[in-house]
Structures are given as structure tokens and as C-alpha cells.
Structure 1
Amino acid sequence: MWISDISIKRPVFAVMLIGALVALGWLSLGRLGVDLFPKVEFPVVSVETRLEGASPQTIESELSDAIEEQVNTISGIETLSSTSSEGRSSVVIQFELDEDADAKAQDARDKVALAQGEMPNDAEQSIVQKIDPDSQPIMSIMIAGDMPIRDLTRFADKTVKEHLQRISGVGSIRVVGGRDREVRVWLDAVKLRSYAVTADDVISALRREHAEIPGGRLDTAGLQSEFSVKTMGEVTSVVEFGDIVINFRDDGLPTRIRDVARVEDGMEDRRSYAELDGKPGISLEVRRQSGRNTVEVAQAIRTELDGIRALAPPGVRIVSARDTSKFIEAAANDVFDDIILGVILVIIVTLAFLLSFRATLIVAMAMPTALISSFFAFYVMDFTINMMTLMALSISVGLLVDDAIVVLESIYRKLDEGHPPMEAASLGVKQVGLAVFAGTASVCAVFVPIAFMEGMVGRFFFQYGMAITFSVLVSLLTSITLTPMLCSRLLSEAADKRENMGRVARFFDDGYVMLEQAYKGLLGLALSYRWIVMLGAVGTVMLGVMVARTLPIAFDSSSDRSEFLANVDLPFGTGIDQMRTIASRVARRLSGLDHVTTVFYTIGADAQERVNEAEFYIAVTPKADRDVGIVALMDAVRAEMKVSAPEAQKVSVTEVPWISGGGSSNFGINYAVSGADLGVLQQRTDAILARMRASGMFADVQSSFEAGKPEVQVAIDRRRAADLGVSMRTLAESVRALVGGTDVTTYEEFGSRYDVRVRLEEDQRNDVTKLEMIQIRAADGRLIDIA
């Protein structure tokens, strides 16, 4: 072979060629990202739309149906599903795998824009985005301290969050458990009646008297300058909101906001909560940008947190409650250790059979050369260091020495025939070159098709198949360049495979002789009883097929990560205070279990912001430090949660998912039951649930269906309203402002703006009988009781 001859005659060429690949591979290794799995993009698009205060039935008919009707016309849809909950519609569109996710996301945006015109005017703008399989938070940062929750929220939002968002690779950060400052205008229904004022009058006054409007430009010819004109009409303190005049009474005296309402410099309603090991605080759920290195981003976050702690007020603690990068690092390091151990074992076995340090050195050079050089191909192909590529490299360790051993043995044979080292090296490679190429081609023929399999599995195994292909191709190049060059320099003309190794050589020689004799005897028996050997071989194959059919099949294997997740759901409509009480009780009980080291839970942290569900993260002692399996611990936690939360409607314990998002859940099996009649659908679903639970084969069997909250419905007499000149919108907005509250304007202080919210006093809005005191203004100006 010409390249082999060049390498033998010009050793610098071979050394520089392989050295360049190794150097590029080594440099690339430091630039490769580290992640659990390859970056895989699925063509799944979500559409999120909100309509504050609307019931699930209203959300379905007004939002979800309108969106589904429009997006259903997009080509290439595999599944289309929607979830309608209180105030929120979520539509998930899963396209066929060969579709382009970006193009389909744009198609969905165009269709949703058409559906937006069919929605109620109060509906927020729909958010259309691709679903990232790695959309789960990579880190949860807990902030706690002996200071008011409003000040702690400001520190978390304005200091910690802003510092973290500057880090390259950090995506969205969600604050859980915080309560922002808010100016509250608490209306008194009794005073409103006595002063003949409605909620709409108060809202109009706030918008009218608290305004800052640009006045244009002022040109001064003498000064040759231009000034902007702005009317300073905003109040400068919270107290001044009470001085705003609503109207003037018949006696000429003004009615001010403080006459009918109580102005409070308060906080927004609590809609989320976080607690770590029994200590409440604020959690920052940090997500990385799509495609960024999880470990690298997490390391940058930990470094930044060290600096942020120096800025924290006295008594404030900042700790990491959950860090997924630590498991990824540990898993990658374990595989790296396995690869190193494999290389060492291969070298030992090679030495044991070749009984030559020089020959072993020549063969051993192929492994690190191929492994390190493969990282350059990873970098060019935009691969990462993940479980699939590392598994490929660990499998290829044994394959990498095959070509080198074949070439080495051929060169030894030529040396034994009396050829000089350089001539023996050239003749040896030429004699087995075709065989070496054929062997490498056969390996590529096996693993390249794996890389190009179709479907979801093919996308995950692409890097796996290509990684093995890269490594064996570099091994081939090494075996026909570096190996013959080293043989021509390191092996003597009077070659003897077994150098003077004394007793070790004699021991292995005796073993080889015994093995050879045993093999000859076995081979003689096989040739004498051919049919028995054939029947035995066929039987073994059939037995293997039968056993293989009994083995469980799964996309990924269960792994003991020393961490898992749990959920406790209370009936729909449960308030956050009750949920917090029960969740805290569960957390205390779980903390007392053996091997449990961390219990971290949040309420209202999911995409639906459900306050009737608590999500738990439970960390246990490392696998090496306990004698109990992770499944047994999960069962113990599940049993304890059911005992400590008898009010719970649902309790589930699941492994931390390898891959999240893509419209899937963390459960092993999901069934979709569909139908036109909601009542019949619920009956059939309940029957299925009962049979699955009675079978004893399943754990955490539950349905996604939730009954709506109890409602107080305001039935409108349309004829009477029309006679009085009261529109449906005016009436509905008045009820919403008084009961649910409405953000009217904003208040600025020290460069930050805070919402100003109008709402009825709590004791009045929570009493159904007092809601009848609400008044609205008719077309002629009269005040009309809503009842």
C-alpha cells in the first residue's frame, strides 16, 4: 500500500499525520458539550392561551376549539390534543418526525393568528412555541432569610435573577414562591353605596387622574435647543392615591378614593410556594437555552452564585436545592473510568498473548489514538459528550486493537521468514491490507445503518452509530500508517514474539499448549459428531430467541439516580393555603424516612400554575452507601404520602425522566380516552381506572380529568338589562373588578413599576349574600343593584 510505504520510509509523515489528528481531538475534547443524551429536536408545537377567570368549559368552547379548528388544517399532523383548565388553554400539536419543526411552528403561528379573531376580546395573545425535550429546569436555587417576603422577592428578582440571566446559555428563570409589591385599592361595598359610586367610577378616576402624557417638543430659538414637554400627572406616593377625586357630590364636595376604599402598599396574591427541608423561601427554576451544554451552564451558575452570596443581605441563604448537572457529570465520569479501565485490560490481555513489551506498545498506541482523534470528528459534527457517544467509545475499545494486531502478526510472520524490518513491514501490510479494510468495512456496515434508522430511536442512535464508525476509521488509518512504521523501527530482524520474560513467558506458553490440546480434542469430537453439533447450535439459537421474547422491552432502562419525583394532588378548587399545610405535613414525614436526605417541594410551579398540586423532589443517599434499592425507597415514599395526606385525590411517585417535554408525561404508560359526551367519557374512564387498580399490575393509576371548581353564577336578565341600558360587558367587568380584581394602572418608585389593583374587601367578596350589594350605573346615570 502506498500510504503504508510512505509511512515506513518517512516516519515523520506518519507521526505528524496521526499526531495532528490526536492534537485536534485533544483540543476538541475541551470544547465539546457534556450532556445526558444527544440533542434531539422533535416537531412538537404548543399553543398557550389565557383567559383570566374563565371556567374549563368556557376555555374549551371559546379558546381550545377555535385553535384546534384552525391548526387542524396544517399538513403533517400526527396527533392534536388540547387541555382546558381554569383560565388556560394548552394545545399540543405533534407532527410527523420527518417534518421541519421551525417551518411547522411558523405554520401554527399563522393559523393561531386567524383563530385569535374568533376568541373573546379579553383573551391574551396566544404563545406559540416549539417544545424542547430538555425544557425541564437544570437547577433549582432556594433563597431564604429572616426578612419580609416582599423584600426577599425583590432581592431574588432584581439581584439574583438578573445576575444569572447574564450568564451565557441561561434561558428562562421562573420565580416560585415570591410575592411582588402591589398597590391595593380595597373597595368597601357599603361606602360605595352611601357615596353613590360604582367600581367603574373608581377605575375611571384612577386612569384619569394618574397619568403622565408626553406634551410634544419645545424649540427655543435663542438657546438653539430643543426640549421635550411632559405633563407630570402621576402620583408620587402610595398615600396620594387616596386623595384622587372620583366625582363631586350635589353639595359640591369631592368624593375621594379614601372615602370609599382603603389604599394599601401591599403584595400580590400568593399563587406559588416553595419549601426546602422544612424552610420556606423563594425558588428560582433555571432553564438553559436550547442546545446549550447543561454541565457548562450549571458550572457557570454555581460560580456566579458564589459572587451573589457576597451581595446578599445579612441572614439570607442561597442554596442549590436541585442540580441535574451533578448526575450528568457523575454518569459521564463513570463511563470515562470504564473506558480507561477497558483500555488497561486490553493492554494487559494483549501483553499476555504477545509476550512482548514492544509489540504491546505498538498495538496499544491504536486505542488512545483512535479514541482521542474521534473527538475531532465529534466537534465537526456538533456532537456532545453524552451517554450514547461514550457508550459507543466504550464498545469500540475492543475493536480498535483488531486491525493493529492483524497487521502486527503479518509483519511478525515476514520477520520470521527472514525479511529485514522495513521490508517485512511493507510486505506484511500488503498481505493483510485487504482483510483489514474488509474488517473495518464490516464494522461500518453494521453501525452506519444504526445511525440512519428512522423514527425517534434513530435520532437518538445517530451519534452512537457515527461515533463507532469514526473511531474504527481512525483505527484503520493508524494500523496502515503508524503501526507498520513503529514495527519497522522497534522490531528486530531476529524477531521473537516472546522476549526474555522468564517464568511469566513459560507460564503462558504452558497455558497456550494446554489450550491448544484441549481445542484439538474438542474440534475432533465436533467433526466426529457433526449432526449433534448442528442440532445443538440450532437448539441454542431457538432457546435464545425464546428467552429474548420474555425479556422486557423499553426505550431506556431504569437507573438508580438517587433521586426521584412525587406529586400530591388535592381536589380541584383547593386553595394554596390548604395545599401548603398538607404539603408541609407530607414533607416533614418524608424527611424522617431512612436514606432520605433532601425534600424540596413547590406549589404552582408547573406550566398550569395549579395551586392544588404539590411537586416534590426527593434526594436519597448515594447508591453505594445504602442497601436498599431505589424502587423500594419509592414504594416507601408512596406509602408514606398516602398515609400523611389522606385528603389527596392523587398521589404519584416517578423516576426523574431522562427526557422531558415533547408532549409526554413521566408515566410509563399513557392511554387516551376520547368521546363527545363528557359525562359518558368520565364514566368509562372511571371504569377503566377501577379495573387497572384492581389488577394489581399498575401503580399510580390516575386520570387527567378534573371536575371544575364550584361556581357562583351571575344569571343576567337580558330584557331587564336592555331596558336599563346596561351592557353585558359592563356588568361582567364590574363583577370581575370587584370579585376577582383588576389591574388598573401602574405606580413607579425608584425606577420600578408596580401594578395598582382594584378589588372588593375580602370579607365582602367572599360572602355571596354581600355580592348582591354591588351596584352598576345605568345608561341614564342611575345606580342599579346587580340583584
Structure 2
Amino acid sequence: MSLTLTPLMCARLLKERGEGAKKTWMERVIGGIEKRVLAAYGGSLWWFLRHRWISPLIWIVCLAGTIWLFVLVPKAFLPPGDSSVIFGAFIAREGSSPDQMKALQNRVDETLHQDPNVITDFTMTGATGFLAANQGITFTFIKPPAERPPIQEVTAQMMGKLNLIPGVFTFLRPFPVLEISTGVTSQQQGQYAFAVSGANPDQVYEVSQKLLGKLMAYPGFLTVSSDFYNNTPNLDIELRREQAKTYGVSEARILTLLRNAYSQNYLYLIKKPEDQYQVILEMEDAARANPEDLSKLYIRSDNGQRLVPLGELVNWKSTLGPQAVNHLNQFTSVCDPLLQS
């Protein structure tokens, strides 16, 4: 292109122009502006050369202004601004039941409603699709900036009040006006996060706990947390296979019974002209509150002729273990969110 087409077009489109050729209106306008700029620059240059003492003075003023602006301007990459919205999460003890989380959620709502700067708030628990079972989130809408203190001060006051609730640890931060997120880690508990991942879960958990200790010792962070909960009450159920064979009950039938009793199993969809309803089979709340409630379940043998107590087919014991096994890029991971002070 540069060796063939461009020279050809220049030869065809650009006309020969000698001394005294008539200029176009654009050349006259641009040329006039250029002459005025050069004249002003030349005059100012000669003036400064005759008064050289002014140049160091201007340099000192510019340096002082730069330092003053450096101190005044926020150092964050993207300052949060004031959106009049405060976002955060509250964490309860490991193994908290849905009823306990609901009671704590009500306490959080009551505390937020008592704040004179709050207009309304929204809290949610039980969304296990993206929240742990012992966590909840809150969106708090506060008054306009002219009617309250700065949003950072209001956030600190709210977090102090919520952390006085027994059994609750709260993380709050102003909802940013503009935010950049890669989506790799959750930002519910802080502005930043470190993630540790690897193929060996034991090494990942060990390194993450060491990293958490180092981060907690750093004075620049207001709060440091982790999504690794390793002391959650679990119930280990051991199948007595020989006993099950004696009673004529298959393993699949036992697993189906447990799923129907405790996992809110969706069975059928009732369709009506105006709406549709899901049929969900589960045990009553009072019949699934303790591990001993497993003994209340009965199961039919494969031939349907015998009703066998579940306690004759399985053994169970209470243990402590991980609440969830998180993954990052298909590897076991632990995320440590940070809230900068």
C-alpha cells in the first residue's frame, strides 16, 4: 500500500503548487492560528529570558501545589464516593441453624432501624447458592449527604453497633459509585481479597491460616476474615451394609429416604390455570432438629413386605469439619477478604 497506492493517489490528487499559489480557506485559518501562537510563545519566551528570577519562583509554586494536591486527593485507585448506600455481610457462629440465623437477622434489622441516618434497609440469609449457611448480607439506604455525617463515619458507627450483637461479626463498607471487579473473589466482606489455591487441600488450609495470621498482624487493615470454616458440626452416617442385606434393603433405597427426608426434594409440579405449585417432601422441623431424630425414620424393604427402622441399618456420630470446600479454577481454595482502614 505505501509503495504503490499511496504514491499513485498523491500523483493524481495533489496538485503542483509553487510560490504565490492561492491558499485554501483551511490553510488560511490554520496558518493564522499557528502564527498567533508562535508570536505569543516567542514574546513570552523573550520576556522570561529577561526576567529569569520569575522562573524559579513559578517552579516553587508548582511544586508546593503538587504536594498540596497529593495530600488532599484520596489515594484509592477508585475513591468510593458517596452513594448513600452501605453494603456488607454479617457472620454468625459455625453450624448456626436457619432459625438462629433468622433471629440474628431480626436483631440486625432492629439495630439498623434505630439509626437516625437510615431510611430503609434490606437483609437476607439462607441464600446458600452464593452465601454460606452462617452468613447474611445487608443493603442499607441512608439519608442524602447534606442531612448526615460523611458516609465513612456513618459506616463505622453502624458496624460498631452491629458488632455489639452477641454471636454476630459484621463487615460494612460504603457501596462504591464506580467499582472494577474481576469476579474471581467475592467482595461481600471487604474491598480486596487474597486467594490461596492448590491441588493438596491440607497444604492449602495450612498456608491460608498462616497468611491469615500475617494479615491480621498488619496495621493497615480494619478487618480480615476467611471463608474457611473448619469447625462446623457435621453428622457422619455409616451404612451397615451386611445388616441392610439381611433386611433386604438396598443402599439406593436408604439414600433416597435420607434425600426425601432432609433435602427438600422436589417431587411434582401442580399446574393450575392461574399458577403452578411445587410439591416438596421433607420432615417436619420438630422431627429433624437433633441427630437422634434419625431413629424416627422407617424404610420398606425392596420387596415391600417389611418396615425396617433406619436405626437398624445405619450408625451415626457428630463430628466437626469443613462447612464447604471452595474451589478456584477447579482447585481447592481459601479466600481471605480484607477491609482497608
Q: Normalising to structure 2: TM-score of the pair?
A: 0.65
**CA drift at 1:434:** 4.4
- Taking a change above 3 Å as real, the CA distance of residues 558 and 608 of structure 1, as seen in their structure-2 partners, is closer
- The answer to whether the 8 A contact 2:78-2:179 is kept is no
Q: CA deviation at 1:568?
A: 1.0
Q: Distance in 1 between matches of 2:28 and 2:264?
A: 87
User: Corresponding residue for 1:166?
Assistant: none
Residue aligning to 1:247: none
Tell me the equivalent position of 1:571: 93
Would you say 1:765 and 2:288 are equivalent positions?
A: yes
CA contact (8 A) 1:564 1:653 kept: yes
Find out whether 1:646 has 2:166 as its counterpart.
yes
Which residue of the partner structure matches residue 225 of structure 1?
A: none
Alignment check: 8 A CA contact 2:94 2:233 kept: no
Q: Deviations over 1:126-181 (max 9, x none)?
A: xxxxxxxxxxxxxxxxxxxxxxxxxxxxxxxxxxxxxxxxxxxxxxxxxxxxxxxx
The alpha carbon displacement at 1:544 in A equals: 8.1
Summarize deviations over 1:98-122 as a string: whole Å, max 9, x none: xxxxxxxxxxxxxxxxxxxxxxxxx
Superposed displacement of residue 688, structure 1: 3.1
Say whether 1:700 aligns with 2:223: yes
Query: Within 1, Cα distance between the matches of 2:92 and 2:111?
Result: 18
**Alignment check: 8 A CA contact 1:598 1:618 kept:** yes
Matched-pair contact (CA < 8 Å) for 2:151–2:174: no
**Partner of residue 191, structure 2:** 668
CA contact (8 A) 2:152 2:174 kept: no
CA gap 1:570/1:774 in 2 versus in 1, 3 angstroms: same
The whole-number CA distance in structure 1 between the counterparts of 2:101 and 2:292 is: 27
Q: 1:726 aligns with which of 249, 274, 292?
A: 249
Residue 618 in 1 paired to residue 140 in 2?
A: yes
How far is 1:715 from its partner? Answer: 0.3
Written as runs of structure 1 = structure 2, the 5 A alignment for 1:90-489 is 430-434=27-31
Inter-CA distance 734–605: structure 2 relative to 1 (3 Å threshold): closer
Distance 2:171 2:58 in 1: 48
* Distance (whole Å) between structure 2 residues aligned to residue 430 and residue 661 of structure 1: 49
* 1:737 match: 260
* Structure 1 residue 596 corresponds to structure 2 residue 115: no
* Cα distance, 1:721 vs structure 2: 3.4
Instruction: Give the number of equivalent residue pairs.
Output: 277
Tell me the equivalent position of 2:12: none
Deviation at 1:634? Answer: 0.9
**CA positional deviation for 1:642:** 0.7
> 1:588 aligns to what SS in structure 2?
helix
1:776·1:784 contact (CA, 8 Å) conserved in 2? Answer: yes
2:175 aligned residue: 656
Cα gap change, 1:587 to 1:777, in 2 (>3 Å): closer
Separation of aligned partners in 2, 1:618 and 1:770:
40
In 1, Cα distance between equivalents of 2:24 and 2:302: 107
Match of 1:688 among 192, 207, 211: 211
C-alpha separation between the residues in 1 aligned to 2:32 and 2:126? Answer: 64
- 1:760 and 1:592 map into 2 onto residues whose CA distance is 38
2:110 counterpart SS class:
helix
Q: CA deviation at 1:732?
A: 0.8
> C-alpha offsets along residues 65-112 of structure 1, whole Å, 9 cap, x if unaligned?
xxxxxxxxxxxxxxxxxxxxxxxxxxxxxxxxxxxxxxxxxxxxxxxx
Give, in whole Å, the separation in 2 of the partners of 1:428 and 1:753. 74
User: In the alignment, which residue of structure 1 is the partner of 2:78?
Assistant: 556
Q: Is the 8 A contact 1:653 1:700 kept in 2?
A: no
Q: Which amino acid aligns with 1:567?
A: A
Tell me, in whole angstroms, the C-alpha distance in 2 between the residues paired with 1:770 and 1:558.
50
Higher normalized helix content (fraction of residues): 1
Q: Give the secondary structure class of the aligned counterpart of 2:197.
A: coil
Alignment partner, residue 6 of structure 2: none
Question: Aligned-pair distance for 1:669?
Answer: 2.0
Partners of 1:577 and 1:604 in 2: CA distance: 10
1:201 alignment partner in structure 2 = none
Please say which of residues 630-639 and 661-670 is displaced more in the overlay.
661-670
Q: 1:767 to 1:431 in 2, by over 3 A?
A: closer
Letter in 2 for 1:784: V
Correspondence for 1:710 among 233, 242, 246: 233
Relative to structure 1, the CA distance from residue 563 to residue 766 in structure 2 (aligned partners, 3 Å threshold; closer, same or farther) is closer
Does the 8 Å contact 1:651/1:700 carry over to 2?
A: no
Check 1:696–1:593 CA distance in 2 against 1; reply closer, same or farther (3 A cut).
Answer: farther
Gaps of 5+ in 2: 1-22, 36-42, 313-341
Q: Which residue identity is paired with 1:432?
A: V
Distance 1:763 1:587 in 2: 27
Query: Cα 1:709–1:736, aligned 2, differ >3 Å: closer, same or farther?
Result: farther
Q: For the aligned residues, what is the CA RMSD?
A: 4.0
Query: Residue 771 and residue 604 in structure 1: after superposition, are their counterparts in 2 closer, same or farther (change >3 A)?
Result: closer
> Aligned pair in 2 of structure 1 residues 762, 617: CA closer, same or farther (>3 Å)?
closer
TM-score, structure 1 normalization = 0.31
Matched-pair contact (CA < 8 Å) for 1:568–1:652: yes
| Letter matched to residue 431 of structure 1 | R
Whichever residue aligns with residue 152 of structure 2, its letter is: V
Deviation at 1:748, TM superposition (A): 4.5
- On the 8 A contact 1:634/1:653 being kept in 2, the answer is yes
**What residue is the counterpart of 1:309 in the other structure?**
none
Structure 1 residues 660 and 720: CA distance shift in structure 2, 3 A: farther
Give aligned-pair identity as a percent.
21
Matches of 2:180 and 2:91, distance apart in 1: 20
Structure with higher Rg: it is 1
Where does the alignment leave 5 or more consecutive residues of structure 1 unmatched? 1-425, 439-519
| Shift of residue 770, structure 1, vs aligned partner | 4.1
Q: Give the Cα–Cα distance (whole angstroms) in 2 for the partners of residues 777 and 596 of structure 1.
A: 56
- The Cα shift of 1:761 comes to 4.1
Distance in 2, matches of 1:677 and 1:538, equals: 59
Change (3 A) 1:599 1:776: closer
